[in-house]
Chains A and B, each alone.
Chain A
C-alpha cells in the first residue's frame, strides 16, 4: 500500500493515541525494589464497596484467570433484622457483572470483596508437601506453578476458599496481589480500577503509608480471626455476619 501524504496525516493521530496507550500500560521500572523493605497488605473499606464487579473483571483480565474461578470475588450480604448468624449471601459469577436488586427490601445489604488474605502464618503454605507455595520476604503468599504437584492440600487448608486448581496448568492458583505489578511500583489491578477506593494496597513496612493512620483511627477486623492465620487483608466496617 502506498502511503500518501494525506493518508499519513490521517494515521498519525491514531498512532499517537496508540503509543500513549502502550506507555500507560507499561509498568514503571523499579530496578531498586528491595524485597525486605516491604510487607504488603490490603485494606478494604466495606461501606465504600458498591458491588460493581470492576475489580473481579480487572483481576480476571490482568491475571488470565480461567472462567468460573476467582482470585478475587464480591459477596453481597443481606441481613434481615437481628438474624446476624444466618445472613443471606450470594456471589453470582463472583460478582463479576454486579448484582441484581435484592428481593427483600427490609434488613441491610452490603458488599464484601474477598481475596487471598496473604496470611503471615498461612495454613496453605504449612501444608504444601514440597514448599511450592510460600510467603515471599515482602509478605505475599505465592505459588510456584513449576513446582506445584497439584495435590490440592492447600485448597483444603485455606479457611477462606481463596484457592483453586487452574484447569490449564493443573496447579494451585490464587491472588498474587498482582506481584508482577507491585514490585514495579504499581498498585494491584483491582485497586487500580475500584471506582470508590474501597480497596487500597498497603505497605506495612513503609512508615509513610496512610494505612498506619487508617488503622489507628478506624475499627478494622480480619476475616475469621479465630483461625489465627495472621491475615493481612484488613476490613473496615465489617458486620459480624461476615464469614
Chain B
C-alpha cells in the first residue's frame, strides 16, 4: 500500500510505528489515574460530597488498569517476549521501568485498597451467598474473615495509608507515561519537560469526567436519583483541573511559538493541515474550550438541577472526547512529520488487522465489560445492601 507523502521523509520514516493502539494506552492509563485521584478526594481529603462515587471510581480504575497492557501487548512484534521486560529490564529505558510502575500501582495500591475497602462486604457475602458465588467470595477473603471492630479499624487505617501512597503513585503512573514520550529527544513534538505534568493533569481531567458520567449513567439505569450535590462537586473539581491542564498546554504552545526553533515551521504547518481537525477543532475547541465554558457557566449562573445535569453530561462527554483527541494528536501527530523537518507522511488506520480500528473499539469496550462484572461482584452503590458491622467505621461500608 502506497502511503501518501508530502515533501521529504527519511525513507524509513514513511510508515508510522505507533498506531491507534498506542493512542489507547495513554488514554486508558489516564482514566485510571484520574479515577483514582477522584476516589482519593473522599478518602484522604474527606470531601464527603463525592462519597457516592468513591467505590465506583476505584472499580473503574481497576477495570481500565487491567486492560491497559493489552494494546501494548497487541502492538509488540514479539508479544511472547514481553515478560523479558520484567525478567531482564534495561534500566536506562523509560519503557522498561514503566512495567514496574504499572505493577506497583496495580498490586500494591489499587488491588489492596479495593480489597481492604470491600473486605467487610466480602466476608459478609461469603456467609450469606449460596453456591458458586459463596465460593468466589470465600476465595476473595484470602482467608481473612475477621470483621471485628478492631480488624475493621485496622483496615480503615491501612486503606487510608494506601490511598496516601496511592496519590503520588497515580501521579507517577501517568506522569511516567508522559515521560515515555517527553524524553524522546529526537522528536520535538514530544520532547518537553512539561509533558509528564500535562499528562498528569489531562489524566485527572479525563478520569474525573469519566467517573462523573459513569455515576450519572449508572444511577439513572438503576432508577435512582442522581445526588446533585455530588455531581456539582465533581464538576467543580473537573473545571479547576481542566483550567490548570489547559493553561499548561497553552504555556507549552506559547513557548513553542515564541521560541520558533528549527522544528517550529514544520510542526506549525502540520497543525494547520494534518492535525487541524483533530487538534484545533476536536481537542481545543470542542474538547477543551467548550466544556470549560459550559462548566464555568454552571459556576456563575444559577441553573436548575435538570439543566446542570444536562450540562455536566454534555461537558463530560466532550471532555473525554477532547482528551482522547489529545492522546491521538500526541501519539499520531508525533509521527506525521519527518525528523528532517522537510516533509509529512499520512496515517491510514487499518480496520480488521491486529492494530486496526476493530481491535481498538474492542479494547475500549472491554473495560466496561470488566466493570460490569466487578460491579455485580462488588456492588459499589451506597444502597447495595452491604452489611454494616457493629461499630465499623462509617467510611466505605455505608
Contact = CB atoms under 8 A, between A and B. Distances in A.
Contacts of A158: 186
Contacts of B372: none
B338 A161 contact: yes
A242 to B, nearest CB: 9
A131 B338 CA distance: 26
A123 to B, nearest CB: 6
B10 interface: yes
A227 interface: yes
Contacts of A151: 72, 75-77, 95
B298 interface: no
B185 interface: yes
A91 B85 CA distance: 37
A159 B191 CA distance: 12
A129 interface: yes
Interface residues of A, number: 42
Contact of A94 (B11, B89, B335): B11
A91 B102 CA distance: 42
A182 interface: no
A163 B72 CA distance: 20
A157 B184 contact: yes
A90 B93 contact: no
B186 A147 contact: no
Contact of B342 (A114, A150, A153, A243): A243
B17 A155 contact: yes
A161 B90 contact: no
A127 interface: yes
A18 to B, nearest CB: 36
Contacts of A99: none
B88 interface: yes
A157 B187 CA distance: 7
B12 interface: yes
A123 B186 contact: yes
B341 A243 contact: yes
Contact of B77 (A75, A114, A130, A170): A170
B86 to A, nearest CB: 10
B81 A114 contact: no
Of the candidates B78, B184, B187, B341, the one having the most CB atoms from chain A within 10 angstroms of its own CB is: B78
Contact of B8 (A91, A170, A171, A227): A91
B134 interface: no
Contact of B185 (A90, A130, A170, A227): A227
B342 A130 contact: no
A157 to B, nearest CB: 6
Interface in A221-243: 227, 243
Contacts of B96: 129-130
A129 B17 CA distance: 16
B186 A130 contact: no
B13 interface: yes
B85 A130 contact: yes
B94 A127 contact: yes
Interface in B1-55: 8-13, 15, 17-18
A152 B18 contact: yes
B93 A127 contact: yes
A165 B77 contact: yes
B187 A156 contact: yes
Nearest to B338: A161
A111 interface: no
Given A127-B93, A161-B13, A156 B186 contact: yes
Contact of A161 (B85, B334, B339): B339
Contacts of A164: 12, 15
B82 interface: yes
Contacts of A165: 17, 77
A30 B339 CA distance: 39
Interface of B: 8-13, 15, 17-18, 72, 75-78, 81-82, 84-85, 88-90, 92-96, 99, 184-187, 334-335, 338-342
Given A149-B85, A156-B17, 17 more contacts: A73-B10, A91-B11, A127-B94, A130-B90, A130-B93, A147-B81, A148-B78, A150-B76, A151-B77, A152-B17, A156-B184, A157-B185, A159-B185, A160-B10, A169-B77, A171-B77, A227-B186
Identify the 9 closest CB pairs spanning chains A and B, nearest first. Answer: A150-B77, A161-B10, A170-B77, A159-B186, A129-B96, A131-B90, A152-B17, A89-B8, A164-B12
22 contacts: A69-B11, A70-B11, A73-B10, A94-B11, A126-B93, A128-B93, A130-B85, A130-B90, A130-B96, A131-B90, A131-B93, A148-B77, A151-B76, A156-B334, A156-B335, A161-B12, A161-B13, A163-B12, A165-B77, A169-B77, A171-B77, A227-B185
Interface of A: 69-70, 73, 75, 87-91, 93-94, 114, 123, 126-131, 147-153, 155-165, 169-171, 227, 243
